[in-house]
Amino acid sequence: MLAPTPFNDPGCRQKAVAFALALTQKTPLEPGAWERAQLRLFETGELSLDELEARLEPIIHEHDPVG
Q: In terms of residue numbers, what domain contains 54?
A: 11-23+30-62
Give the per-residue pLDDT at 66.
59
Write out pLDDT tens, residues 6-52.
Answer: 788 899 999 999 999 999 999 998 999 999 999 999 999 999 999 99
Residue 6 included in any domain: no
Chain-centroid distance of CA 56 in Å reads 7
Residue (of 44, 38, 33, 39) closest to 17 by Cα position? 39
- For the chain, the domain total comes to 1
Is residue 41 in a domain?
Answer: yes
Q: What is the pTM of this model?
A: 0.80
Name which of 26, 20, 63 is nearest 42 in CA terms. Answer: 20
